[in-house]
Amino acid sequence: MLSLRERQKLRRRDRIFRTAINLFREKGFHQTTATDIAKASHVSRGTFFNYYAYKEAVLLDFGAQLLSELREQALAELGQGEPPLEVLRRLWDRLAEVSERERVLLSPLAYELLNPDPERAKAAFEALPLGDLIADILRPLKLRGKLREDMSLERISRSIADVYLLSALRWAAYTPGRQLKEEMTKFLDLMLEGAVTRETSKREKAAKT
């Protein structure tokens, strides 16, 4: 059982989080300051920083929640016996959809993964373990010897996660008029050509049709 003080702190953090996300969507991330968030949350600026050391940390919470939901869906599909590559493609489509819908939030979040401050970049990497989720999806193929042997499962999975990051950043910066899903699918196909044995790839493509 949480104490009254602990429950109050959780409610205050949740209020700050929700207020910040709403302001980011309404005003834009870069146009919203910590002072704006604190004022709208009815707390002091110092209180905001007690809960979030920097503005981007709010986005890490947001991204972590989204990834948790995607993880539940993907693992449920694997548990139902869905082919791993099909599960990965569904995850990919969902990532594209949420990235397009939440572009104002996910673009600065993606840049946080590339923050030149190593501590900030590490915090973002740990909050958003997309590579670990992809590894869980592809592990059955690795165990059956259906992934290339000269690269570890972790390296393959993190490389695919990097493809999402670069695709999203390029789309947001240079080609927002195109559908992100189409761009991401092209890059995923290219990655899988080099990671999955041809026999497995053909079999799972046939299963789709």
Domains of the chain, by residue range, sit at: 1-52, 55-193
Summarize the confidence of residues 92-108 as an average pLDDT. Answer: 91
Residues 6 or more apart whose CB falls under 8 angstroms from that of 146 comprise 196, 197, 199, 200
Residue 120 has pLDDT above 70, yes or no: yes
- What is the signed CA dihedral for 173, 174, 176, 178, rounded to 10 degrees? -150
pLDDT at 107: 84
Q: pTM of the predicted model, to two decimals?
A: 0.86
DSSP string covering the chain: ---HHHHHHHHHHHHHHHHHHHHHHHH-TTT--HHHHHHHHTS-HHHHHHH-SSTHHHHHHHHHHHHHHHHHHHHHHHHTT--HHHHHHHHHHHHHHHHHHTHHHHHHHHHHTT-SSHHHHHHHHHH--HHHHHHHHHHHHHHTT-B-TTS-HHHHHHHHHHHHHHHHHHHHHH-TTS-HHHHHHHHHHHHHHHHB-HHHHHHHHHHH-
Question: Residue 117: how many CB atoms within 10 A of its CB?
Answer: 10
Per-residue model confidence as pLDDT tens digits over 190-206? 888 888 865 544 555 55
**Per-residue pLDDT at 206:** 55
Quick one: average pLDDT of 16-39? 96
- What architecture is the 1-52 domain classified under in CATH? Orthogonal Bundle (1.10)
pLDDT at position 207 is: 55
Q: Which CATH architecture has domain 55-193?
A: Orthogonal Bundle (1.10)
pLDDT in tens, 143-166: 999 998 889 999 999 999 999 998
Tell me, yes or no, if the two domains 1-52 and 55-193 fold the same way: no
Percent of the chain topping pLDDT 70: 93
197 vs 36: CA distance, rounded Å:
52
